[in-house]
Structure 1
Amino acid sequence: MNLHALRLFHTIASTGSVTRASELLNISQPAITSQIKRFEKDLALRLLRPEGRGIALTEAGEQLAVLASRLFAVESQIEQFARDYREGAIGQIRVAATYLPAHFLLPAWIAKYKQAYEGVEMTIHTTDSSGALHKLQQMEADIAIYGGIPEEYPDSIATEQLFEDELWFVVAPGHRYASRHVTLTEMMKEPFVMRETGSSTRERLFALCRTCNAPAPRVALQFNGLHEAITAVIAGYGANFVSSLAVRDKVERGELSRVYVDGVQPINSIAVCTRKNEPLSAAAARFLDLIRSHPARSR
């Protein structure tokens, strides 16, 4: 079917005038009339009939006009969809994130993003570092956000550090080491309350002790969630080694106290990973731009 001729017919049917259609489309009346006659011949249908000094639709023309209106309405919707998707106003973003960014960074980032782009659907999967990377490699995530020790990634993965965060030793305010300076060896004499094996912060503490030739920490209590581990320390048992993002507000309110370990200033890396040589959708690219411009930097 000649869609150009159908569009001419649609314009004539909408305006009720060949003259008006000629003005709107900037095409001469003889040219429009010639193309409509050819279109009628192709369809083997008479679409227009003379009426007074103008024209009117035949019965077939009226029914075709209804179908043409639907077709061009859908075309308009497709154009709007393409425009919105191209500009990032709609779409889907799948994020895989480790525990720290998923719980302490992403909620604020997503809230700010959704205020501007309500039409974008977002899916967040919280996992460990290897799980986040796996989802990215398996095309199950568009972006992976990682909090922990910088790692070596495959050549297919691009990594961008967003900022660095301090790792703190914390205890209950009534603890004998609260707000004091101690050595790493002294600190390792305390029982630790930590997350499960595989937690990047837990592995970082063990690696720190190996590097400094200090005794390994004694993990006396183990929880699957960081919140539970922190709550146990607040209640008065043991110590925790944790990102300042997770406990800064509790230290400021006096629920926890820092322990200053001499000669140790561990840093946590917050990074975002994407697939190399694969452009992000407009929606995902805008979300990444927002993260870059609103990092939750440690103070």
Structure 2
Amino acid sequence: MNLHALRLFHIIASTGSVTRASELLHISQPAVTAQVKKFEKELCLPLLKPEGRGVALTEAGQELAVLAERLFAAERQIERFCEDYRSGAKGNINMAATYLPAHILIPAWLAKFKRRYEEVEMTIRVTNSSEALRLLLNMEVDIAIYGGLPETPQSGIRTEELIRDELWFVVAPDHKHANRRVSLQEMMREPFVMREEGSSTRERLFSLCRTYNAPPPQISLQFNGLHEVIMAVIAGYGANFVSSMAVREYVERGELCRVHVEGISLVNSIAVCTRYNEPLSKAAEHFLDMIRHHK
């Protein structure tokens, strides 16, 4: 079927006038009439009939006009759909996030983003640092929000730092080292409650001990979630090495206390990671622009 001719017929049916259709399409009236007659011949159906000084739809023309309206309405819907995707008003963003940004930063970011881009679908996988980077490299997610940068740059990954905070040693208020200044060697004699292997903060602690020739930490309790680690230390067991962002409120309320380790001052980075040489969707670009200004 000649869709151009069908569109021409659709405009005639919508306006009720061959003259008006020719004006809208910038085609001469005789050319419009000729194309409609050719279309009728192709379909073997009369679509228009003379009526007074104009034309009217035949019975077949009336039925075809309804179907044509549905077709071109679907075309307009497809055009809007494509424009929404191009503009970022619609789309899908698949994201991996480590526990710290996932629980402390991302909920507020997503709430702000969804208020503006309600029709963008967001999928978030909360995991440890190693798994977040693996998902990104394997193209299973578009973005990784990463708490604690890896010690060595990851090939194929672009990293953009968003926020910096400190890394603290914390214990319960009745711990013997609470609010005291101790050496790293003394601190490493305490049992630690930490996240699972693959956690960037855990790796930073082991790296710290290697750098200062201190014994490695004794990981006596291990959890897959940051909240569980903090709760165990608040309950009175062991020590934790953690982003200040995660425990600042507990310290301010007196539920946890810092331990000041001599000569140690480390920062923690919250970064967004994407793949090199691969453009993001417009929706993902909007999300990154928002969190850059929301930090």
Give TM class, smaller chain. over 0.9
Q: Quote the offset at 1:82 in angstroms.
A: 0.6
User: Alignment partner of 2:179: what SS?
Assistant: coil
Distance in 2 (alpha carbons) for counterparts of 1:145 and 1:80 = 31
User: Alignment partner of 1:213: what SS?
Assistant: coil
Q: How does 1:177-216 map to 2 (within 5 A)?
A: 177-216=177-216
Q: How does 1:1-299 map to 2 (within 5 A)?
A: 1-295=1-295
Q: Which amino acid aligns with 1:231?
A: M
Q: Which amino acid aligns with 1:150?
A: P
User: Alignment partner of 2:121: what SS?
Assistant: strand
Distance in 1 (alpha carbons) for counterparts of 2:151 and 2:40 = 68
- Relative to structure 1, is the Cα distance of residues 231 and 155 closer, same or farther in structure 2, using a 3 angstrom cutoff? closer
Q: Quote the offset at 1:151 in angstroms.
A: 4.1
Q: Quote the offset at 1:153 in angstroms.
A: 4.5
How many equivalent residue pairs? Answer: 295
* Structure 1 runs not aligned, ≥5 long: none
Contact between 1:149 and 1:204, CA under 8 Å: does it hold in 2?
Answer: no
Distance in 1 (alpha carbons) for counterparts of 2:277 and 2:197 = 34
Q: Which amino acid aligns with 2:280?
A: L
Distance in 2 (alpha carbons) for counterparts of 1:64 and 1:149 = 63
Q: Which amino acid aligns with 2:85?
A: Y
The C-alpha deviation readout for 1:37-64, integer Å capped at 9, x for no partner, is 2222232322100011221111221121
Distance in 2 (alpha carbons) for counterparts of 1:197 and 1:40 = 73
User: Alignment partner of 2:242: what SS?
Assistant: strand
* TM-score where L is the length of structure 2: 0.93
- Relative to structure 1, is the Cα distance of residues 101 and 252 closer, same or farther in structure 2, using a 3 angstrom cutoff? same
Q: Which amino acid aligns with 2:20?
A: R
* TM-score where L is the length of structure 1: 0.92
Distance in 2 (alpha carbons) for counterparts of 1:90 and 1:228 = 36
Distance in 1 (alpha carbons) for counterparts of 2:196 and 2:135 = 21
Contact between 1:150 and 1:269, CA under 8 Å: does it hold in 2?
Answer: no
* Structure 2 runs not aligned, ≥5 long: none
User: Alignment partner of 1:173: what SS?
Assistant: coil
- Relative to structure 1, is the Cα distance of residues 216 and 271 closer, same or farther in structure 2, using a 3 angstrom cutoff? same
Q: Quote the offset at 1:265 in angstroms.
A: 0.7
Q: Which amino acid aligns with 2:283?
A: A
Distance in 1 (alpha carbons) for counterparts of 2:110 and 2:180 = 38
Q: Quote the offset at 1:83 in angstroms.
A: 0.8
Q: Which moved more, 1:18-27 or 1:47-56?
A: 18-27
